[in-house]
Amino acid sequence: MRAGRDDAELLNVLYNRVFAQTRPLSHFLWKYWEAPAGPPYGVIAKAREDGRALAAAFGQRRAAWIRGRLVPANLMCEISSDPSARGGGVAFKGVMHAIGIGLNDEAGTLWSYGGQSSDEAIAVGSRWLGFREAFTLRIWEMRLSFAPALRSRLGAVGAALAKLLDPAFRALWKNPPGDLRCEEVREFGSEFDTLWERFRDRYRLCFARDAATLRWRWLENPVPGHRILLARGSGGEPAGWIVWREWQPAEHKVATVLDLWTGGEPKVIAALVNAARRTAAASGCQFLRFGVKEGSAEMRALEKLGHGRVSPHDRPDRVIVTPMPGSLHDETEEDFEVWRTVVRGENWYYTQGDSDFYD
């Protein structure tokens, strides 16, 4: 059956049990029911005897800009089944089929997508729902401090030496060109709507980045640590922005770039990345990581900046798509053109924040 808001607690309990998490219900509600693109679409299988959740497939609404118009999309976020009641995968397979049928039949829902997909997930999804791998993001890593390397080799002496070397190393990171300046902001105001409208037609496919969406996505996000820089031109006009998260997933504190919006302008990309790594280094981050598409303007800018490499610590993001074209008798040529755009990875502008993986 289709899951509703009344099922939120059941769904969140199932997620926590299956994935050994302690996510609060408020986080679940933010992620799905507070999204500006609208309420989620999900399917839940319940036990007849006591109504507990046996399996669920749940997606988040997102708005996509495709070939010059907004199109509703569905991000598949959580697919789970109770380990104590899997019964050979019957419940799991049931909710997977049900959500595919439901998304097909519901007017306005086009397709689902996801990042950080495993070989197993892609293989199962290919058999049952027609998953297709659209493209891959390589995780580019830039060192912000010599401390991790020198400490591992020389101990306390290395840590002390890093304090001497780091300022000289960071001085190599160029300031923005004279006609650009970068400032940290704590609100998504009208400048962000202006930038969204200015750059969106440069891409055949991108996800909505208007101020309301960004406010929900980053400022209201219950996961802490997000920081935002806005670049301005010489006349004060907005030129682009970057969002990253400062956190400590393992031994080292890391700045993970989750979103960037510059229209592909190399000078603005370089200015924002340099400003982000200066800001992140000042707050104790030791690496900056940024998932980018091969051959993109972002990758070319990072390679030109230097001092980076493909991360040995993060696996690539493999982004899969499942077009949901709906009832064939309702399809138009425009609908099929959207479908063709979605399945071709070269059409996408995508950052890691376009998925829910880090939420």
| Contact by Cβ (8 Å): 25, 9 | yes
Cα–Cα distance for residue pair 114/125, rounded to 1 Å? 11
Mean pLDDT, the chain, whole residue set: 87
Among the residue ranges 8-17, 159-168, 291-300, the one predicted with the least confidence is 159-168
Per-residue pLDDT of 14-45, as tens digits, reads 999 988 999 999 999 999 999 999 999 888 98
Q: What is residue 221's predicted lDDT score, i.e. its pLDDT?
A: 97
Least confident of 183-187, 295-299, 337-341: 337-341
Contact 204, 294 (CB under 8 A): no
Least confident of 38-47, 148-157, 188-197, 253-262: 148-157
In this predicted structure, what is the pLDDT of residue 89? 64
Tens of pLDDT, residues 205-235: 999 999 999 999 999 999 999 999 999 999 9
Query: Into which CATH architecture does domain 5-109 fall?
Result: 3-Layer(aba) Sandwich (3.40)
Which superfamily is assigned to 138-310 in CATH? Gcn5-related N-acetyltransferase (GNAT) (3.40.630.30)
How buried is residue 181: exposed, middle or buried, by Cβ count under 10 Å (0-12/13-18/19+)?
middle
Render pLDDT for 239-248 as a digit per residue (tens, 0 to 9): 999 999 999 9
Segment 303-324, tens digit of pLDDT: 988 778 898 888 888 888 876 6
Burial code of 205-232, b = ≥16 C-beta within 10 A, e = fewer? bbbbbbbebbbbbbeebeeeebbbbbbb
Q: Which residue has the higher pLDDT, 261 or 304?
A: 261
Domain boundaries, given as residue ranges, for the chain: 5-109, 138-310
What is residue 109's predicted lDDT score, i.e. its pLDDT?
56
Q: Is the pLDDT of residue 150 over 90?
A: no
95-99, 330-334, 344-348: which range is least confident on average?
A: 330-334
Give the pLDDT of residue 174. 73
Q: How confident is the model at residue 327 (pLDDT cuts 50, 70, 90)?
A: very low
| Residue of 240 and 102 predicted with greater confidence | 240
User: Same topology for domains 5-109 and 138-310, yes or no?
Assistant: yes
Where is average pLDDT lowest: 50-54, 111-115, 197-201, 239-243? Answer: 111-115
The confidence band for 143, taking pLDDT boundaries of 50, 70 and 90, is very high
Report the C-alpha gap between 354 and 335 in whole angstroms: 23
Do the beta carbons of residue 169 and residue 348 sit within 8 Å? no
